[in-house]
Chain A
Amino acid sequence: MLPISGFPTLLYKELLRFWKVSFQTVLAPVVTAMLYLLIFSHVLEEHVEAYPGVSYTAFLVPGLIMMSMLQNAFANSSSSLIQSKITGNIIFVLVAPLSYLEFFAAYMLASVIRGVVVGIGVGLVTVWFADLPLVHPVWLVFFTALSTGILAALGIIAGMWAEKFDQLAAFQNFLIMPLTFLSGVFYSIHSLPAFWQAASHWNPVFYMIDGFRWGFFGLSDIPPATSLLVVTVCFVAISGFTLLLLKRGYKLRH
């Protein structure tokens, strides 16, 4: 009997894990995004026009979709790993003949899928509030895949590194949240003071959101090819680093 890879099963398990509690993992973030949309568009609709001819609500929707996808891609891999580590059941996977590449691929892909499922959910409920064109759909696919992939990999790193839930919460609150919030989800960076405009250029999430928005409107703060390049480089670098840690068994195989 020639054994096939254990990768499909690990992927399936990771998908099942969030799908079994989809109330928290899918519905809750969709509702949160919806609340953001209602509040911010109500307050700012009259006052802000980010791009000529684009209403503030329409401008906001892609940012919210991307932000929800990123946060959930990160939450999926990081919480799955830390839960398995703390309850000890991570050993079921570690004793199996899975390579670190298969391990990486399963956790990453499941997190990307969760991000996309949440993104579609947010899209479906927010699309009623704004007229969204869809100018470059293929670019949306690229930006979605690469951006959720980056956050999924960051989630793997955080899940490996953290030994307690509050360490993971710190990672989330002091790194992931600021990066996703201060990235132009709620505004165009041209409306910022010069210092914060410059600072935003050091935030990779800014390029993810700007590029994603370009997929809808064909309008962006940065040339989309530049954004795609930045995001691709980030994806390759962070994935490479994650693979290196996994290969070494960092905090997994003592």
Chain B
Amino acid sequence: MSAAIRVQGLVKEYRQVRALDGIDLEIRQGEFFGLLGPNGAGKTTLISILAGLTRATHGTAEVMGFDVVRDYRASRLALGVVPQELVYDPFFTARETLRLQSGYFGIHRNDDWIDYILHHLGLTEHADKNMRALSGGMKRRVLVAQALVHKPPVIVLDEPTAGVDVDLRQTLWTFIQSLNREGHTVVLTTHYLEEAETLCERIAMLKQGRLVALDSTRNLLSRRHEQQARLKLNRVPPVEIGLKPGPDETWLYGFETFSQLESMLASIRMAGLEIREMQLIEPDLEDVFTEIIRAS
């Protein structure tokens, strides 16, 4: 079985910038995959090359085994991209937009499927409004719908929830997850790391056009061994104990083994302090992300 996406030695140079600096990446069919990285890391550039919007300087990219340049028809039929920018054609209504998009893909009687996606994205009552009259969130939904008109096996969403209300995020993820369960491969870039953490099975991190991490979400999370204890005390603890001030008059303690935690608690008791509250904080993707990006 071919990979959903395979990228080899991908380099993209703009005049002064090396937006992609040799990327090798393989995403399996059926995966829910996260592509993370700070602004300017090259995420959008990578997606644009897959979609044929941009041409690579070196290297190759394939979607479902089809080269994006040589077999562009097959690769584009296999790919649905939700672009990062909120673009639309002000000449048309939402439904016209979807019918046209469907037609560009050579599918001329597609109203059942179009109605289905309109319904699942909560667009049915807005379907016959002009695109100009729709709110930003609604326009974003239409962009998602447009990417799905040809039932692509691979769906790529470039920051689909940036600046979008909670309601849409909920609707969107429910629908995208159901598509993923039906076998569609989903690739997601997002700034909301908790979103990636809950949705994605595997995650790649990009920085300055290079791949700096590629692992399952679980492995990435366990990569960071340090846990944190957050305490509320009756007064300021002596410096030797090693507590750092946290938010809301709390004190933070980082540890890797529980015996470290025990000795810290013993020191607190010896100093005659009283613990009023204590919480253990699991590391999240945010910490891992910050650590990897800083280290690389």
Interface set of A (CB-CB < 8 Å, partner B): 1, 3-6, 8-10, 12-13, 16-17, 20, 84, 87-89, 91-99, 249, 253-254
Contact = CB atoms under 8 A, between A and B. Distances in A.
A89 B104 contact: no
Given A4-B106, A9-B103, A97-B77, A87 B87 contact: yes
B72 interface: yes
Given A91-B53, A91-B83, A9 B90 contact: no
B19 to A, nearest CB: 10
A13 B48 CA distance: 24
B91 A16 contact: yes
B52 A95 contact: yes
The 7 closest A-B pairs by CB, nearest first: A9-B103, A3-B106, A96-B104, A88-B87, A97-B73, A6-B104, A97-B76
Contacts of A89: 87-89
Interface in B107-138: 107-108
B155 to A, nearest CB: 12
B105 A97 contact: yes
A93 B100 CA distance: 10
Contacts of A20: 91
Interface residues of B, number: 31
A8 B88 contact: no
Contacts of A96: 76, 101, 104-105
B106 A5 contact: yes
Contact of B53 (A16, A17, A253): A253
A253 B108 contact: no
B191 interface: no
Contact of B72 (A4, A8, A84, A97): A97
B76 A9 contact: no
Contact of B55 (A10, A91, A99, A253): A253
A218 B107 CA distance: 48
A141 B90 CA distance: 35
Given A92-B101, A93-B104, A17 B52 contact: no
B105 A6 contact: yes
A87 B103 contact: no
A101 B12 CA distance: 26
Given A95-B51, A97-B76, A4 B146 contact: no
